[in-house]
Structure 1
Amino acid sequence: MMTIPKKYEQIDEWKTVMFMFNSALKEIGTKIEILNNEFQHVHNYNPIEHVKSRIKSPESIVKKLKREGHEVTIENMLLYLNDIAGIRIICSFTSDIYRIADMIRRQSDVKVLIIKNYIANPKPNGYKSYHMVVSIPIFLSDGPVETKVEIQIRTIAMDFWASLEHKIYYKFEGNAPEYIKAELKECADIVDMLDAKMLSLNEAIREVEEEQNRAEEMAAETERQLAEKRQSRNG
């Protein structure tokens, strides 16, 4: 659990906790940006479309603690809630999800605490996403403070579906009509099929590009050899 440094004990505890979580979001956000830039530099490809971050509102924190049967205290908030600081990474293809998760996992100062793979094991309503709860050090003047951040990684199609499901959930306070739930599950199946089709199409495009590159390299090598022969005859 995150421990508040002694130097902050006389400051408003809530403000201190929010300062820590906001700092954690900045820290992990910078890491993700650097990893994406490095991938672009090495592979000439961006696996990340965009990144969203948020801090859970006080109202949402209170509701979740009560829903889970915990007394509303700062201590319980830090102990039982893993998603106060959240960052969402949106990518184009399902293969990118695991690639990004692996890049984050390999960071020496990031500790992976929990993994929930809702892609391999979707929720009953069709929800798909890859969740990681990590601990990242916030380097303050008195030393590092380990702080939890939840990372969600999903495709554009998954994110579109999840956004709609979220709106429906709160519209009906978790009790949507059965026909709407059925339609939503059908949409999740369509999203799954779309992601698979787009991934297959992307792989086909890459194969064509590789074949073209090989053909161009062979043509260039042939031209070089012919040039050497002409030069030898002329010499």
Structure 2
Amino acid sequence: MSAIVPEEQSGFLRELRLFHLNYKFGLDEILTKINILREEMTFRDGANPIEHVTSRIKTIDSLRRKAERIGCPLELDAIAEQIRDIAGVRIVCSFISDVYRVLEMLTSQPDVTVRQVKDYVAQPKANGYRSLHAIVEIPVFLSDTTHAVPIEVQIRTVAMDFWASVEHKIYYKYAKDVPAELVEELSAAARVAHDLDTRMGELHRIVHG
């Protein structure tokens, strides 16, 4: 394979920065939609089912490192196809019913295209992880073109989010080599968290009908 000459490398980096900027714009668009929904639901229902929202976008350096790690060619089309978590939002809701409600409201908008949904709420991972994942595409309108930008959306309850946060910290501390007894405790804690979600959902239905 021939080496990339400085002029070619400079041109690619400029293209990569614009490519990355499109994901930032896509993230801005989806966050605007979520904020509009939050304000509308607060006004109409007097209550907001969304507790909080966080977002993240991979840096250009981390994007290049991931491409190299998974054997993805440093080409924009290949990166867009093989790396689907460049930009993402996490929406934390009060109740399980809110998780599905928020996804429905967001994805029913005419300019939001659903590419993939993985329901780990109904079908949790083996370790107990629960969350609703979706890949959606949203149009980004530039001065001379329009790009459909994929954004990863994760929606979960407060209990699910707390469990996932603790699980991540434990796996980070043990460099993913977690002792078996801790794995069992995490699995048990996941069941407790789901039981809490179920009970709080029942209370919510009793109070609000």
TM over 0.5: yes
Structure 1 partner of 2:7: none
Amino acid at match of 1:27: E
Tell me the SS of whatever aligns to 1:12. Answer: helix
Structure 2 unaligned blocks of 5 or more:
1-10
1:56 aligns with 2:58: yes
Aligned alpha-carbon RMSD (Å):
1.9
After TM superposition, list the pairs within 5 Å mapping 1:114-153 onto structure 2: 114-153=116-155
| In structure 1, distance between residues paired with 2:65 and 2:171 | 15
Among all aligned residue pairs of Structure 1 and Structure 2, give the percentage whose two residues are the same amino acid.
43
When normalised by structure 1's length, the TM-score is 0.78
| In structure 2, distance between residues paired with 1:148 and 1:13 | 18
| In structure 2, distance between residues paired with 1:166 and 1:40 | 32
Deviates more, 1:134-143 or 1:71-80: 71-80
Tell me the SS of whatever aligns to 1:70. Answer: coil
When normalised by structure 2's length, the TM-score is 0.88
Instruction: Report the Cα offset of residue 169 of structure 1.
Output: 2.1
The match for 2:183 among 178, 181, 189 is 181
The answer on whether the counterparts of 2:20 and 2:60 sit within 8 Å (CA) in structure 1 is no
Structure 2 partner of 1:46: 48
Amino acid at match of 1:83: D
Structure 2 partner of 1:70: 72
Deviates more, 1:62-71 or 1:168-177: 62-71
Structure 1 unaligned blocks of 5 or more:
1-8, 208-235
Amino acid at match of 2:150: K
Structure 1 partner of 2:105: 103
| In structure 2, distance between residues paired with 1:55 and 1:199 | 32
The match for 2:168 among 166, 169, 174 is 166
Cα pair distance change 1:19/1:115, threshold 3 Å:
same
| In structure 2, distance between residues paired with 1:108 and 1:192 | 33
The match for 2:82 among 76, 80, 83 is 80
| In structure 1, distance between residues paired with 2:61 and 2:67 | 10
| Bigger Rg, structure 1 or 2 | 1
Structure 2 partner of 1:228: none
After TM superposition, list the pairs within 5 Å mapping 1:186-225 onto structure 2: 186-207=188-209
Tell me the SS of whatever aligns to 2:121. Answer: coil
